[in-house]
Chains A and B, each alone.
Chain A
Amino acid sequence: GAVVSQHPSRVICKSGTSVKIECRSLDFQATTMFWYRQFPKQSLMLMATSNEGSKATYEQGVEKDKFLINHASLTLSTLTVTSAHPEDSSFYICSARDRYRQGNQPQHFGDGTRLSIL
């Protein structure tokens, strides 16, 4: 089945550090990838939609200069949290949509990255 690999699974770093998270579709092409953030006991909140070869579309309230997204190929999107602060600590999850399958399972999720900023 479709697999999305997300790396790293956990990051602990100091305040002010920039952190890059990778999301790869392993056995399908993903023209669109999605980045979500999830705080404890809350649901997934869409941060941005990443389209291959074009600029990402950010949801209202998400700072595009803070959360840099690059989708340079059909199998890779990256999210960089720039100058991270403790309030950025969260569970970040990516998902990818199969280019050729738009039906009943449009998004395949990665395993998530738990980011902890000290």
Chain B
Amino acid sequence: GQNIDQPTEMTATEGAIVQINCTYQTSGFNGLFWYQQHAGEAPTFLSYNVLDGLEEKGRFSSFLSRSKGYSYLLLKELQMKDSASYLCAVRVSLSGGYNKLIFGAGTRLAVHP
């Protein structure tokens, strides 16, 4: 089956760095995405990895190791507005050229002053 695991909750201090891990066991892997979701709102795209290594976008970086089925999202210089849920999602390719995203349960990050 398809399975994605990430911690349920994390807390961090404003200005600090936090790393949110994600492990996955899927078939047909075709990319990994991180989304941010504030309560009651739709997810917003943060990052995408399809090859091994680190992708950096401003305060956010995401890492992927396909052989280990592992990714992390790194948030630097945390701000209060970064308090949100962070969703790890794996795109899988199925028969007939059909792709879909499978989401993890999300990690709720609370940033404290």
Binding site for B on A (CB under 8 A): 6, 34, 41-46, 49, 57, 91, 93, 103-107, 109-112, 114
Smallest CB–CB gap between B5 and chain A, Å? 11
- Which of B12-20, B66-74, B76-84, B93-101 is found at the contact surface with chain A? B93-101
Chain B residue nearest in CB terms to A1 = B45
Interface pair B101/A107, CB less than 8 Å apart: yes
| A-chain residues with CB within 8 Å of residue B106 when the two chains form the complex | 42-43
Does B113 have its Cβ within 8 Å of any Cβ on chain A?
no
Contact indicator B42/A49 (Cβ below 8 Å)? no
Indicate the member of A41, A42, A57 with the most B CB atoms within 10 Å. A41
CA distance A107 to B50 in the complex (A): 15
Asked whether A104 and B103 contact (CB < 8 A) given A93-B42, A109-B42, the answer is no
**Are A43 and B87 also in contact (CB < 8 A) when A49-B98, A105-B45, A112-B41 are?**
yes
Residue pairs across A and B with CB atoms within 8 Å: the count is 45
Chain B interface, DSSP helix/strand/loop, else mixed:
strand
Interface residues, chain B, with chain A CB atoms under 8 Å away: 31, 40-45, 48, 50, 87, 91, 98-106, 108
- Contact yes or no, B100 A43, CB < 8 A: no
Whether B103 pairs with A43 at a CB distance below 8 angstroms is yes
Within 8 Å CB of A44, what residues of B? 43, 87, 103
The answer for the CA separation of A41 and B9 in the assembled complex, in Å, is 11
Known: A107-B101, A109-B43. 16 other contacts (CB 8 A): A34-B101, A42-B106, A43-B87, A44-B103, A45-B103, A46-B100, A46-B101, A57-B98, A91-B40, A93-B42, A93-B43, A104-B31, A105-B48, A112-B40, A112-B41, A114-B40
Q: How many angstroms between the C-alpha atoms of A60 and B102 in the bound complex?
A: 14
Q: Which residue of the partner chain A has the closest CB to B9?
A: A41
